[in-house]
Amino acid sequence: MRKALRTRFVLLLLSVWIASAACSLAAGDVDRAADARDLAPVPPEAVGISSERLHRLETGMRRFIDDGRLAGVVTMLARHGKLAHVQVAGQKNIQVPDPLQRDSIFRIYSMTKPITGVALMILYEEGRWRLGDPVSRYIPEFDKLKVHVGEDRNGRPILEDAARSMTMRELMTHSGGLAYGLRDTPVDRMYREARVLDSSVPLQTMIDRLALLPLLSQPGKQWYYSIAVDVQGYLVEKLSGQPFDQYLQEKIFAPLGMSDTAFYVPAEKIARLALIHAEDDHGKLVPPDADAALRNAGTPPAGPSGGGGLYSTADDYLRFSQMVLDGGALDGVRILAPQTVDMMRTNHLLDEALSTMRPGTGFGLDFAVVLDAAAAGEPYENGAYYWSGAAGTWFWIDPVADLVFVGMIQHRGSAVGDIQGVSRNLTYQAIVDEN
């Protein structure tokens, strides 16, 4: 009898211990789920953001729509790996009562550049190239480039030999001497005349045309926003042996679940496209040419632009940005090593080229980097990095505040700079817990 009682007592203790252990494991699972950096939506207070103050951001973004300055806007804010804010306001096209949606697709233009940079750094991690390598090692057509140093009395260009090949580091920091065709310098005008930026021809044609044109300056002498990232797209294609668009799909978009990011918008998604608006001299919205916009967006390019060709959604770009913030991985999928991401978000400009950047900023590998937020006149933490697109899309990553912000508009005009600046003020004032 006593032996039976002792057995039952031992079994009871064992069952209590097992139940307790199970509860502990379950609690641990809950804690881990709460700590997971998975972009799950949470109340703003859960990540140190005031809901009341966040309302100022929502009101501020909405005001651009109400005042007739923008057609529509989508913004997202993630902190500590959780989604704390999503706002969708306005229309895809002011001529049609078709509201903007969270999954609306935007032409992100130069926000393509950081994605191209990540693709090239994947190949860096495979040992395919190094930062100090001359670009001409991989693009022999660039071996004997000339530099434009002036014009003679008849307006003919005066050229001199490049002192050396631009390096891969200089290519990724816009300090290699290339131009873009966007400004009014003699070299930019040559780019336009040669149609260097032409997505209807293969990337090799772009390289062949560039090889016939002079550099704007000697390599390493100045920062000048350029076609350099389109050249990087060509290098991804050449070093990987795959078409550039396929490489991005295989190495970045599919692994990260960026299902709506591509160099064109397929027919089944074209109704989700937000159209680019302009503004007149009085700031009034100018409607888009919808037929031309839809036709152009739906055509796959022969030469996908690594500098500005992608379409994407706010959710897709948030996933990309969170991966970068988290040291190259998201949801258990690793794209880059943490050290590689650190290299990308570190200023690589030397003193001479750095002096040509705006105050307080430097340039990493396809990201602008905040070196001194006070000098830059911005509320970022030092070490934040960012970029934007020609139709107004913008984002930044702040590793000190542990946040990512993505904004999507489709607009050309003064409202672009205004909404981007206001978004920074209204985001940081809402953070009430720095931890």
Q: Report domain extents, the chain.
A: 44-121+242-428, 129-240
Has domain 44-121+242-428 been given CATH number 3.40.710.10? yes
Please tell me the pTM assigned to this model: 0.92
**Per residue in 3-54, pLDDT tens?**
454 545 444 444 444 344 444 444 444 344 456 999 999 999 999 999 999 9
- Tell me the torsion sign for CA atoms 259, 265, 271, 274: positive
What confidence tier does 376 reach under pLDDT thresholds 50, 70, 90? very high
- The more confidently predicted of residues 318 and 12 is 318
Long-range CB contacts (< 8 A, 24+ apart) of 243-248? 243/304, 244/119, 244/203, 244/304, 244/306, 245/304, 247/119, 248/115, 248/116, 248/119
**Interacting residues of 351 by C-beta distance below 8 A, sequence separation 6+:** none
Element (H, E) at 77: strand 72-79
Tell me the mean pLDDT in the region 280-307: 93
d(CA 219, CA 80): 40
Per-residue pLDDT at 328 exceeds 70: yes
